[in-house]
């Protein structure tokens, strides 16, 4: 069993928990994720490692309530335990060294998934522009934490309630049109957002990495649940990714595959809510 050491609410339906998991904490690198089960009969869900503390032996994750399992996790409090916490899984991000200019772009909860890359890039001496976005001001997360790390932070909201009005991809277009150049762009967030960023950077020939989030079950390359097509080849996001060259990803297929179990997911959430009302 894995104990919850700390818990913070970051925004409506987005929370951060620190979990005691010394073995995972010891090996975790930017870009990697864990798979957890809340209880013995629970489903396995993948979540990105936002941060880890080798000395304390803890791993921090940021979770957005999407359905039954993330809802159940949100109902856990400090001192409670969860059944399984397996990782680190997936490949670490391939990050440049030294003077490279990198734009790290996060949308929604993807902002937290991108945090370890920003931290590592700064440690390596890179020049890091961070662009974060959310639908509205109330859903924006980690502005202060990223602001302290980044050379420059640009904040966007879709509805213009805070920062620049528009999508993160609009803010990137503005920079590129003003003559900015980047050696690498990393984009993590909703599929639509990652595809929009990929479309922009392709035109400028900028190498771009996205972190894909297909349905995962075992996380070992055995079940085939996380199959994606990249550069015309079949890949398993859990073992070959989760990060890939954005310009080679078949986003259309990924959109379709993500919607396969929507009816079942909706039913499971409704059944859970009937038994346990939302806090
Ligand atoms: C590598 C990776 C890293 C992720 N990191 C984060 C993170 O740091 N924070 C965060 O909030 N979310 C993250 N996700 C998404 C998270 O796994 C899903 O939101 C979660 O599984 C939803 O489960 P649920 O039972 O609450 O919702 P459900 O109602 O079961 O599903 C809601 C939606 O979540 C997705 N989903 C459902 N089950 C899975 C599954 N087993 N694997 C992947 N996606 C699923 C589907 O798109 C689905 O439509 C990540 C996904 C992947 C693949
Ligand atoms: S999650 Fe089963 S093959 Fe990737």
CA distances from 221 to 38, 143, 160, 224 (A): 22, 35, 42, 6
**pTM, to two decimals:** 0.92
Query: Which of 33, 43, 86, 218 has most ligand 2 atoms within 8 Å of its beta carbon, as the pocket-test mutant?
Result: 218
Q: Residues with beta carbon inside 6 Å of ligand 1? A: 33, 45-48, 61-64, 66-70, 109, 113, 213-216, 242, 258, 262, 265, 269
DSSP run (H or E) holding 251: helix 251-258
Burial 266-275 (b: 16+ CB within 10 A, else e): eebbeebeee
Terminal CA-to-CA distance of the chain, rounded, Å? Answer: 24
Beta carbon of 214 within 6 Å of any ligand 2 atom:
no
Q: How far is the CA of 240 from the centre of ligand 2 (A)?
A: 10
Query: Which of 213, 218, 241 has most ligand 1 atoms within 8 Å of its beta carbon, as the pocket-test mutant?
Result: 213
pLDDT in tens, 63-102: 999 999 999 999 999 999 999 999 999 999 999 988 899 9
Among 93, 176, 167, smallest CA distance to 131 is for 167
Beta carbon of 221 within 6 Å of any ligand 2 atom:
yes
Domains and CATH numbers, the chain: 2-89 (2.40.30.10), 101-258 (3.40.50.80)
Which residues of the chain are under the pLDDT cut of 70?
260-271, 274-279
**For residue 269, what pLDDT is reported?**
64
Give the separation between CA 222 and CA 224, rounded to whole angstroms.
6
**For residue 260, what pLDDT is reported?**
65
Q: How far is the CA of 139 from the centre of ligand 1 (A)?
A: 18
SS3 breakdown of the chain: % helix, strand, coil, rounded to 5? 30, 30, 35
The ligand with the least distance to the CA atom of 212 is: 1
- Per the DSSP assignment, residues forming a β-bridge with 187 are 105, 210
Do residues 219 and 37 make contact, with C-beta atoms less than 8 angstroms apart? no
Query: Which of 15, 44, 51, 66 has most ligand 1 atoms within 8 Å of its beta carbon, as the pocket-test mutant?
Result: 66
Nearest CA to ligand 2 atom 2: 223
Nearest CA to ligand 1 atom 35: 215
């Amino acid at each position: 069993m894995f104990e919850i050491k700390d818990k913070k609410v970051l925004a409506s339906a987005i929370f951060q928990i620190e979990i005691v998991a010394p073995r995972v904490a010891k090996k975790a690198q930017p870009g990697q994720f864990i798979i957890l089960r809340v209880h013995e009969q629970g489903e396995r869900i993948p979540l990105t490692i936002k941060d880890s503390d080798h000395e304390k032996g803890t791993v921090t994750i940021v979770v957005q309530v999407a359905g039954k399992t993330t809802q159940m996790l949100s109902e856990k409090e400090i001192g409670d335990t969860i059944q399984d916490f397996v990782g680190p899984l997936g490949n670490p991000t391939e990050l440049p060294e030294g003077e490279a200019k990198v734009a790290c772009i996060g949308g929604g909860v993807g902002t937290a998934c991108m945090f370890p890359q920003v931290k590592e890039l700064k440690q390596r001496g890179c020049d890091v522009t961070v662009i974060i976005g959310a639908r509205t001001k109330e859903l924006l997360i980690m502005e202060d934490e990223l602001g302290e790390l980044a050379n420059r932070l640009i904040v966007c909201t879709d509805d213009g309630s805070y920062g620049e009005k528009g999508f993160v991809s609009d803010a990137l277009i503005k920079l590129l049109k003003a003559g900015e150049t980047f050696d690498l762009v990393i984009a993590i967030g909703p599929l639509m957002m990652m595809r929009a960023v990929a479309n922009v950077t392709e035109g400028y020939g900028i190498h771009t990495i996205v972190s894909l989030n297909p349905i995962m079950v075992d996380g070992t390359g055995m079940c085939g649940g996380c199959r994606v097509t990249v550069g015309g080849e079949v890949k398993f996001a859990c073992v070959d990714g989760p990060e890939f060259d954005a310009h080679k990803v078949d986003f259309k297929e990924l959109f379709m595959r993500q919607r396969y179990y929507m009816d079942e997911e909706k039913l499971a959430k409704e059944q859970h809510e009937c038994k346990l009302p939302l806090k």
